[in-house]
Structure formats: C-alpha cells, structure tokens
Homo-oligomer: A and B are copies of this chain.
Amino acid sequence: MTYHTKYTMGEAIRQYEKAFNALGDPTRRTIFKKLQNGPLPVVAIAKGLTVSRPAVSQHLKVLREAQLINISSQGAQNIYEIDPKGIIAMRDYLDQFWNEALDRFKQLAEQSEKKKTKSK
C-alpha cells in the first residue's frame, strides 16, 4: 500500500533535521552526554551502557552524520568528541521560532529568564 513515505524525495535533509532526529533517541542522548566531559574511545563510551558495542557504533554513526560528534583515529582507537556544529544548527532552528513568535508569549519568556540568570 506504500502510504507512509516521509522525506518525499525532492527535499534535501537539513542539518538541524538530522540533529533533532539523532537526539530524539534516549540512548544517543546518553552517549552524547558521556562525551560532554571530553573525547572518548568507543569502548569507553560503550562501558556501562546496556546495549552492545555494535549498537553503540551504529548510534555513533548517526550522531556523526548529524555533526553532533567528531571522529579522529589514534592508532587502533577511534576517538569521538562533541562537535558544536550540530548544536549550533539546533539552536539556530529554535531561535527562529523564538524570535518570530516571541511577542505572543513574552510574559512566559520573562518567567523563564528569571529563574536562570542566563549564562552569557
């Protein structure tokens, strides 16, 4: 019946789309979080996770294609680290909504500002 086809083959997939898709998965968010404190080889990333090492490799691939992480080999090891490009793409996407719709809910925005002291 083939009624269910997203990404209707004409349109290019943007960076932020890949990024949202990537961070849409909890395991990938866990992996991403692990890299927050610095670069790690794959085994270190997989350690402690409930899923197998190949599964981790597959997740890393998705994160890499979303430009949320970088790879760099060091001998037999593949070291992954956070790549700001994906984060920037997502922030820019969110800011777009932020800016254009801001006037409609200014009060709510202000509320959030108060309890944060907003870094930078």
Question: Which A residues fall within an 8 A CB radius of B?
Answer: 6-8, 17, 20-21, 23-27, 29, 32, 36-38, 50, 81-85, 87-88, 90-92, 94-101, 104-105, 108-109, 112, 116, 119-120
Residue pair B97, A36 in contact (C-beta under 8 Å): yes
Determine the main DSSP class of A at the interface with B.
Answer: helix
Chain B residue with Cβ nearest A8 = B50
In the complex, 13 of the A-B residue pairs with CB atoms within 8 angstroms, ordered by the A residue number, are A17-B26, A21-B24, A36-B100, A81-B104, A82-B104, A83-B105, A84-B112, A88-B109, A88-B112, A90-B90, A91-B98, A92-B116, A95-B119
Contact of A87 among B7, B20, B97 (CB under 8 A): B97
Residue pair B99, A84 in contact (C-beta under 8 Å): no
Contacts A20-B29, A29-B20 known; A94 to B87 CB distance under 8 Å? yes
Residue pair A29, B17 in contact (C-beta under 8 Å): yes
Q: Which residues of B are found within 8 Å of A38, using beta-carbon distances?
A: 104
